[in-house]
Structure 1
Amino acid sequence: MAPSTAHAAPRRPFGAVLTAMVTPMTPDGAIDLEAAQSLARHLVDEGNDGLVLNGTTGEAPTTHAQEKADLVAAVVEAVGDRAYVVAGAGSNDTDHAVRMAEQAADAGAHGLLVVTPYYSRPTQEGLYQHMVKVAEATDLPVMVYDIPGRAGLRIAPATYERLAEHESFVASKDATGDVASALKLIEATGWAWYSGDDGLLLPFLSVGASGIVGVSTHVVAPEYAAAVRAFDAGDHAAALDLARQVVPVVDALNGAGAQAVMAKAAVEALGLLGNRHLRLPNVQATDAEAAAVRAALEQAGVFDRTAHARDGVRPQNTAQPEPAPEVAR
């Protein structure tokens, strides 16, 4: 059998490996901006091309407008031009989502993440109008977020095609788990496509996706970045080996469906945060849950790699991210 060959890399308007970053908090529940800046710098050092703030993993449902804006401004200041900062502007109230988009732009975000309106379950026409109104509130490029498991509604192919006619929409974070649909939608829209499920990076890359917006990338970004580079180079066996290496971490952080909870336990275990506090209705991982997360990190060799990084050996960022759009800088 002939070996795999390299192929042209897909579009990457926000890079290839992005983390849906947790929002650090003090034990009394305040947003810890200093800790957020430190964590953001670490994530970029570890190989993330971008950070998604104020999303589900960032506990957006329980943080408030000024807190969200302050977080974006702090992280943009911390990472500078080294990474894209994409800000969540998601709500089931369109006017609220518009205000979040405007505040994110004012705070220096490079792009927006706009999720399907949840709970209200609008028609596809309502969904389309919601997305367009939020997109038109700023000049920032938009990544739509299709997550029917949380939103209760999936973006229909015809709606994707309508959105693709609008120049603001450039990417999708796809958490449908439907790789076959992604293959068709990537061609139909011309967008960059990002896996919204940690365990599906390679299947999505195989149909032309750009990369991942992940949770496990808090702690295994170097492996994900290396997997993308290997896949781009046509070394699919190496990419598969790297994907297998991080399975314990993917399972530990995503298996219970409490990604924010387990991600905070993981970064605390690595000494990147001083606590794992969350706001209700989320509660922090129990000691037993935190121990299970720590065991998964040990199994994947994360502690050894992190120690090397602290000694000055840093991974490279993912290859071939696109230059940031002028409106995003």
Structure 2
Amino acid sequence: MFEGSFVALVTPFKNGQIDYKKLKELVEFHIEKGTNGIVPCGTTGESATLSFDEHERMIGEVVSMVGGRIRVLAGAGSNNTGEALRLTRHAKDVGADGALLITPYYNKPTPEGLYRHYKLIAEEVDIPIVIYNVPSRTGISILPETVARLSEIKNIVGIKEASGSIDQTTQILQLCNITVLSGDDSLTLPIMSVGGKGVISVVANIVPADTAALTRYCLEGNFEAARKCHHKLFPLCKGMFIETNPIPVKTAMKLLGRINGEMRLPLCDMTKEHENQLVNTLKKYGLMP
């Protein structure tokens, strides 16, 4: 159900508010460039600083803007199970194709706690659910054995795997048939080479067609062409993480004239040194003169 290139969409702001006109432009840009799906209100979308009203409206707006042309996988996670349940219900109500739920951060639940968190939400809301494992953000990594247990629940269909470990992905796929999507742009090729089905991508905000091509080649089994894409994309992928995501990607989009680059505190402008590095990376890729 979820395969190929899904963009972890940035949230465009203007004077402190979500810029829905710009959001529409970004959605149309991705559809035109061959992105397979859109993930609004994830980490890259600064979900941590969106109010409930903003979060819910943005999901609804993106679903409406997409109009069924590609998939919408709505960010709906929280470290509060009740809040995650509310956001997941809303995602279903407005017609999202699925919900992306991060492992609860800060609480550091046990494997059994993680299992119960996802099980409760999956049983309460009949929508396809993708687990999001990103231990660098949350302080915990979901065990492959827990993923396998959860995969037995009919509407838990995938996992965004951002642990940085190919072993983790391999172990998950040896234990169950759940769809694995890369959560690290630089590891999309390795993860797909062991059985992953795509990526939820930061760099796709910058180069959606190239990111989609990489995943398409992998799905077709054309790993020679995929390797060429990987090596071309690699410096740009690394450039998106020279500071905390989404600072570099929003800065890059500003430099390319796509958005104004506005972020919400506690995120702030990139240092001049890092911005110069980013400019050089964009130039070497051919995105800037």
TM-score range, shorter chain: over 0.9
1:20 counterpart residue number: 8
| More deviation, 277-286/192-201 | 277-286
1:311 counterpart residue number: none
How many residues align? The count is 289
Q: Deviations over 1:23-57 (max 9, x none)?
A: 1101x211111211111111222221011111111
Contact map agreement 1:146 1:154 (CA 8 A) in 2: yes
Match of 2:277 among 276, 288, 292: 292
| SS of the residue 1:145 aligns to | strand
Matched AA of 1:89: A
How many Å apart are 1:173 and its aligned residue?
A: 0.2
| SS of the residue 1:66 aligns to | helix
Matched AA of 1:167: K
Q: Deviations over 1:42-101 (max 9, x none)?
A: 122222101111111111111011111111111112222221111111111111111111
2:201 counterpart residue number: 214
How many Å apart are 1:287 and its aligned residue?
A: 5.0
2:246 counterpart residue number: 260
Match of 1:283 among 257, 263, 268: 268
How many Å apart are 1:159 and its aligned residue?
A: 1.1
Gaps of 5+ in 2: none
Gaps of 5+ in 1: 1-12, 305-329
Residues in 2 aligned to 1:299 and 1:31: alpha-carbon distance in whole angstroms: 32
Residues in 1 aligned to 2:194 and 2:250: alpha-carbon distance in whole angstroms: 32
Residues in 2 aligned to 1:152 and 1:223: alpha-carbon distance in whole angstroms: 32
Higher RCO (C-alpha 8 Å, min separation 6) = 1
Residues in 1 aligned to 2:232 and 2:253: alpha-carbon distance in whole angstroms: 19
Contact map agreement 1:101 1:137 (CA 8 A) in 2: no
How many Å apart are 1:138 and its aligned residue?
A: 1.9
Match of 1:237 among 208, 212, 224: 224
CA-atom RMSD in angstroms: 1.6
Contact map agreement 1:72 1:108 (CA 8 A) in 2: no
Residues in 2 aligned to 1:232 and 1:101: alpha-carbon distance in whole angstroms: 29
TM-score scaled by structure 1? 0.83
1:111 counterpart residue number: 98
Q: Deviations over 1:125-165 (max 9, x none)?
A: 11111111222332210000011111111111221121011
| SS of the residue 2:114 aligns to | helix
Identical-pair percentage: 35
1:324 counterpart residue number: none
TM-score scaled by structure 2? 0.94
How many Å apart are 1:302 and its aligned residue?
A: 3.2
Matched AA of 1:105: K
| SS of the residue 2:218 aligns to | helix
